[in-house]
Structure 1
Amino acid sequence: MAETVTPAVAEPAHPGSTRRERTGWYFYDWANSAFSTTVITVFLGPFLTGVTKVAAGCDIEDKCRDGYVHPLGIAVAVGSYVPYLISLSVLLTVFVLPVVGAVADRSARKKTLLAGAAFTGAGATIAMVFVTGDRYLLGGVLFLIANIAFGAAVVVYNSFLPQLGGPDDRDAISSRGWALGYLGGGLLLALNLAAVSALSEEGNPQRTLDLARWSIVSAGVWWAAFTLVPLRWLREHPTAEALRGGGGGNVVTAGFRQLGRTVREMKAYPLTLFFLLAFLIYNDGIQTVVGLASQYGTEELGLEQDTLIVTILVVQFLAFGGALALGALARRIGAWKTVLLSLVLWTGVIVAAFRLPAEAPVPFMILGGAIGLVLGGSQALSRSLFSQLIPAGKEGEYYGFYEISDKGTSWLGPLAFGLVFQLTSSYRVGLVSLLIFFVLGFALLAAVPIRRAIVAAGNTPPRVL
């Protein structure tokens, strides 16, 4: 029997994994969600945009639509700096993450790789404490390091999933991880909300900027501290290739060689690649909405930081239940159909966000609740569905490509948003440009013969798809 989605119910045994190990795996979602929620979703956009305003000679409270900074001599609108940074970080991860995945598949010590990537990202996040005054370039560099390391750690983390449960169990396992992640991210946000409410001063925007900086630092501390749990409870599951020594020689160079072979051999799995293309498109839209929501709320809708944090808290705690609820729905109608349904709902979210009135916190919070109900499930089920399409022994490599558009690593969406804003000076028009990602992603995903794709990858399909 497949796992239920209620964490309190006993999980079925799976050869090669234990309940303690699966719980340890869930806790890395708890650990790293502090970065994706507190940093990417809430504080990075307003904070780094505020620092960039200072560098451009604008007042922090000014929308600064005509303000520019000049990194490396390139004129960049203040409102486009953060979206461009996100896009640049993902362009860099295109080269890094697949290699990390190939190395993970060839390493008998994946937990060491997880620790290295996670602590590097957490360290860069903590170093944001030094981003003061007009140091927007330092903030940009630290964010690039943190976001790339974040993606690298998630590649290694995701590669454990196929060893933790059978085909009928993975939707529930993945959903539990996402749900616990939203709970952890929500808890840290609640603590930050209490600090911001207690320590902010009316009419002092610099104070608000400093509180945002310390909230970002707290996410790095949280990430590093709770990473110790999966490092303690997870067990190594080396592939046959890793047990043979990764093909001989240094594991990194062997990983590069294997990555080249895998890229050439991917044409043997066209349906897996087609699913990956659909995911890269629709999830790019999801990540862009999540990553730029706070900037849209402050700069276009004129909402206070407290309103944004409360809304994201609503998203986090509803996403906890939403991930489990969509996981339960997937057991009835299948993960593929459930993800398609979620994309229809995402399209409605974009249309509703475009029509939101300015300086009206309640409608913004209601829309945030709708996002929470579909956010966790669409991501968790996409992750578990992809695990069914990966040839055995190549989980790290394929998740390396998958992670190019996973948590916080979208690039086409922020690029489109940034370009449209630079051309129109309108955040609303930039938001509408994201509709194409959901419409095209839905069409491509609907065209995937998912059961045939799983069989073609050499795997056993779950009973319900």
Structure 2
Amino acid sequence: MNDHRRAQWSWAIYDWGNSAFATTVMAGFFPIFFNEFWAVGVAPETQTLYQGLTSTVASLFVMLTAPWFGTLADRHGRHKHWLAAFTVIGVVTTAALFLVGRGQWGWAVVLSIIGRIGFFGGLSFYDALLTRVAAPDERDRVSALGYGLGYLGGGVLFSVNVMMALKPAWFGLPDAAWATRIAFLSVAIWWAVFSLPLFLRVPAAAAQPGGVSSWTSLRETARELRAMPAVWMFLLAYWLYIDGVDTIIIMAVDFGMKLGLPSESLIKALLLVQFIGFPAAIIFGRLGDRLGTRNALLLALAVYIGVTLWAYTLQTEGQFYAMAAAIGCVQGGIQSLSRAYFSRLIPVEQAGKFFGFYNMLGKFAAVLGPLVVGLTAQFTGNPRLAILSLLVFFVAGAALLWRADRLRGASA
């Protein structure tokens, strides 16, 4: 394996490591443990609101700071340094969840917010490094490799964590609560260890020195976007459709619990998404090459529209498994191809600040989506209406993506 391929794999393996936080903590154990252990005795609709606010606060912080940090990283070529800082934040606070006791939902919320800042805050720098390891014609494949390894790595550790929670005696643990707390600790260790190849083997970006401040550069970037219609149209489309995608990831388990589905079934459904998501993300990378990236993205959005409509009528565990399988087929694809598509629209030497905008909009979406779901559940008491509200984001996002691609073609 030559150095170029080794750098691509080292970059992708970071996703193997940090995806454990997305699966075990955000999507899997945190919602269940929050409802049944940390926030025991709190009204169900209030539990949903607290979880929505947890995601919203973390996403709001990342949304406001990502472009500024991205600009700083571009100017000094320090993408890996900032990624390391946010990784340490995420790892330490995830490990600290082990210490939170029964009924201490306030500490659970605070640590989860900081952990999510570490996870999401690092993604701008991680995404920007894609341009350092892959040429434009390689980015669909390499981006898909990252997401594919993320689903597999997150799924492997998650499956071990699930066995610990279901059969704690096999691991010498007294009960499922202890197993869950150990699971949070294992995520921190996993994330830290599998981050190392990126920091050792991925080349650093070249500095882009300039005399203006980061805030001035940020305003200049906003002005540049007005002269790049395909870029800002795609960013608007991405903001809308990724809102629905992220909200489903974050709130799916809570949604199933509110419908009365057993937590064991919800965990199994998440495992199904992970292990289907691994080959599906790789296949979607190839599909983007064959059909065109835009067409592959539109296919994924069509699936999400269908699943959202289906969720409104959800009745059985079997239907929940089928929905999980459908989402697993497209979730990694829509994430990886969006990143690859955007990387072709922007100047490579300014990848940090442009991916800062990209992740800013992604996090702005994550501010609105869970908040809308949480508030709808709070005021209507109907989780089905909350999920159905996401439909407009998928439909509008698809329409704007179509328009963005036409603008891109006209510009070319």
- What CA distance in whole angstroms lies between the structure 2 residues aligned with 1:320 and 1:38? 16
Match for 2:11 among 25, 29, 35?
A: 25
What residue is the counterpart of 2:164 in the other structure? 195
Question: Aligned match of 2:61 in 88, 92, 105?
Answer: 92
Matches of residues 368-387 of structure 1 in structure 2 within 5 Å?
A: 368-387=324-343
What residue in structure 1 maps to residue 109 of structure 2? Answer: 140
Task: Say which of 185, 199, 218 aligns to 1:217.
Answer: 185
Map 1:46-445 to 2 at 5 A: 46-51=32-37, 53-54=39-40, 57-58=41-42, 64-65=43-44, 77-199=46-168, 207-239=175-207, 241=208, 246-247=209-210, 254-304=213-263, 306-357=264-315, 360-406=316-362, 410-445=366-401
CA displacement, residues 271-301 of structure 1 (integer Å, 9 cap, x when unaligned): 2011001001101100100111111122223
1:169-202 deviation per Cα after TM superposition (whole angstroms, max 9, x unaligned): 110110111101111001011111111121189x
> Secondary structure at 1:169's aligned position in 2?
helix
Q: Letter of the aligned partner of 1:436 in structure 2?
A: V
Secondary structure at the aligned position of 1:237 is classed as coil
Change (3 A) 1:223 1:408: farther
Cα offset, 1:444, TM superposition: 1.1
1:330–1:311 CA distance, 2 compared to 1 (3 A):
same
Q: Please tell me whether the aligned partners of residues 144 and 281 of structure 2 are also in contact (alpha carbons under 8 angstroms).
A: yes
Q: Structure 2 length as normaliser, TM-score?
A: 0.93
Deviation, structure 1 residue 134: 2.2
Deviates more, 1:107-116 or 1:375-384: 107-116
Note if contact 2:60-2:363 (Cα within 8 Å) is conserved in structure 1: no
- Tell me how far apart the structure 1 counterparts of residues 139 and 125 of structure 2 sit (CA, whole Å): 17
State the alpha-carbon separation in 2 of the partners of residues 49 and 255 from structure 1: 42
Contact 1:65 1:425 in 2 (8 A): no
Query: For 1:396 and 1:194, how far apart are their aligned partners in 2?
Result: 40
Q: Deviations over 1:422-444 (max 9, x none)?
A: 11112111111111111111111
CA–CA distance in 1 between the matches of 2:229 and 2:15? 30
Q: Does the CA contact (< 8 Å) of 1:52 and 1:78 recur in 2?
A: no
The SS at the match of 1:247 is coil
Asked if 2 retains the 8 angstrom alpha-carbon contact of 1:175 and 1:377, the reply is yes
Query: How far 1:226 sits from its partner (Å)?
Result: 1.0
Instruction: Could you tell me which runs of 5 or more consecutive residues in structure 1 were left unpaired when the two chains were aligned.
Output: 1-9, 59-63, 67-76
Alpha-carbon shift at residue 79 of structure 1 (Å): 2.2
Letter in 1 for 2:8: R
Tell me if structure 1 keeps the 8 A contact 2:38–2:101: no
Residues 287 and 407 of structure 1 are in contact (CA less than 8 Å); yes or no, is this contact kept in structure 2? no
Amino acid at match of 1:259: L
- Indicate the SS of the match to 2:122: helix
When residues 161 and 86 of structure 1 are mapped into structure 2, their CA distance, relative to the original with a 3 A threshold, is same
Aligned to 1:449, which of 401, 405, 410?
Answer: 405
Distance 1:407-1:258 versus aligned 2 partners, 3 A rule: closer
- 1:393 CA drift (Å): 1.7
When the two structures are aligned, how many residues end up with a matched partner?
409
Structure with more of its chain in helix, by fraction: 2
Q: 1:116 to 1:177 in 2, by over 3 A?
A: same
1:326·1:338 contact (CA, 8 Å) conserved in 2?
yes
Cα distance change of structure 1 residues 51 and 150 upon mapping to structure 2, 3 Å threshold: same
Q: Is the 8 A contact 2:133 2:202 kept in 1?
A: no
CA contact (8 A) 2:39 2:104 kept: no
CA contact (8 A) 2:239 2:364 kept: no
> Contact 2:68–2:214 (CA<8 Å) still a contact in 1?
yes
Q: Distance in 1 between matches of 2:34 and 2:191?
A: 20
Residue 74 of structure 1 is matched in structure 2 by none
Cα contact 1:97–1:151 (8 A) shared by 2: no
Runs of 4+ aligned residues of structure 1 deviating over 6 Å after TM superposition are none
| Contact in 2 for aligned 1:44/1:216 (Cα 8 Å) | no
Letter in 1 for 2:241: Y
Q: For residues 424 and 210 of structure 1, what CA distance do their matches in structure 2 show?
A: 35
CA–CA separation in structure 2 for the residues paired with 1:409 and 1:338: 21
Distance in 1 (alpha carbons) for counterparts of 2:215 and 2:84 = 21
- Residue of structure 2 equivalent to 1:35: 21
Question: Matched residues, percent identical?
Answer: 34
Question: SS state of the match for residue 272, structure 1?
Answer: helix
Rounded to whole Å, the distance in 1 between the matches of 2:351 and 2:169 is: 46
Q: Distance in 2 between matches of 1:109 and 1:162?
A: 14
Larger mean Cα displacement after TM superposition, 131-140 or 436-445:
131-140
**Structure-1 separation of matches of 2:133 and 2:355:** 15
**Pair 213,425 (structure 1): closer, same or farther in 2 beyond 3 Å:** farther
Q: How far 1:375 moved relative to its partner?
A: 0.7
Larger displacement relative to structure 2 (435-444 or 396-405) = 396-405
Distance of 1:381 and 1:454 partners within structure 2 = 18
Taking a change above 3 Å as real, the CA distance of residues 229 and 355 of structure 1, as seen in their structure-2 partners, is: same
